[in-house]
Amino acid sequence: MEMIARNPASGVYPTSPDYIHALEVRHPSRLLFVSGTMGLDHEGMAAADLEGQLELIWSNLRAILTSADMTVDNIVRLTSYLSNGAFMEANQNARLRALNGRAVPTTAIIVETLRDDWLVEIEIIAAG
């Protein structure tokens, strides 16, 4: 499988180091679509703060990826649902740490969550 960042030099606004316009995935043999994943522990309880929830989300995502014999290196698309726009930077930093600085196509959306204690939810698409 080959992954190629697609950032046209003209006709669209420039990207930043942590952002790409598109990612071409050539010859994947399988795709994994992961539901929105929350910062919940093994008992289904949300961490008390944003940092704790982000840590749990990425731990949960790694466990889901592992169950499909994949890692975070297989992530090709990510959508974050934030309950507050002020969470953007912490979410971005957690993503960059989790992906070791690798940029993938991302979207962040400010939403009303299903429960008040759910601060962020992340869904991914992975290819292998």
Q: What is the pLDDT of residue 74?
A: 98
108/25 Cα distance (integer angstroms): 22
Within a 10 A sphere around the Cβ of 80, how many other Cβ atoms? 24
67/52 Cα distance (integer angstroms): 23
Ranges of residues in the chain with a pLDDT under 50 are none
The dihedral sign for the CA sequence 56, 66, 64, 31: positive
Q: What is the pLDDT of residue 114?
A: 87
Could you tell me the pTM of the whole model? Answer: 0.95
Q: Which domains does the chain have, with CATH numbers?
A: 2-6+20-127 (3.30.1330.40)
| Phi, psi dihedral angles at 114 (to 5 degrees) | -70, -30
